[in-house]
Amino acid sequence: MNLNDVEILYDRETVKEKVKELGKKISEDYQGKNLLLVGILKGAFVFMADLIREIDIPLELDFMDVSSYGMSTVSSGEVRILKDLDYSIKDKDVLVVEDIIDTGLTLKYIKDMLLKRGPKSVRTCCLLDKPARRTTDINPDYVGFIIPDEFIVGYGIDYAEKYRNYQDICILKPSVYQK
C-alpha cells in the first residue's frame, strides 16, 4: 500500500461507528418487514458486509454489478448491468446499498428498474454522498457521510481496481489519476 497516494478523510473507527448507527436505524425502520438488501458491486461489498452485522432483524441479500465508470474517474453517464439480481423482489422491502453517490445517475437507473419489478418499497442507503456532483433529483434515504467533491478510495471503493483494501476512507491525491 502506498499511503503517500492518499489523505485520510474518515478513519476506520469513525466509519465503524457510522455503520453501527446506520444499522440501528435500518433495524428500527424495517422491524416486521420483509427486508431485502441489494448490494451494488464491487464498491459496496465491504460496507454491506459490515452493515448487515449491525442490522439485528431478519433480512435477505442479493447483489447487482453495475458499471458507469469503467477505468475512469468520471461517470460515463451510461449505466450497464453486468450482473442482475438472482431472486425476485416482488412484495419485498428493498434497500439498495451503494458505496458512494455522486451524479446519482446509476442509483436512479437502478431504483427505477427495481420499482418495475413489484416490490413493496425501494429505498436507498449509501456510505458516502457527494451532492455537489448530483445531476439527478435522487437523494438517498440513509447516508453515512456527506463528502466534498474529491475522488475517494478505500473501504471497498477503488480507482482502477486499486485501493479497495485500505481500511480508512481516503481522498486520492490528483497526482495519482491526473497522469
Q: Provide φ and ψ at 109, rounded to 5°.
A: -60, -50
Specify the residue for cell string 458486509: 49
Cα 76 from Cα 139, distance rounded (Å): 20
Supply 61's cell numbers.
441479500
Whether 86 is catalytic is no
For cell 453486468, name the residue: 82
CA atoms lying within 13 Å on the CB side of residue 157: 21
Select which of 93, 102, 129, 168 is catalytic.
102
Give the position of cell 456527506: 146
Q: What is the DSSP string of 52-96?
A: HHH--S--EEEEEEEES-TTSSS--S--EEEE--SS--TT-EEEE
Residues serving a catalytic function are: 102
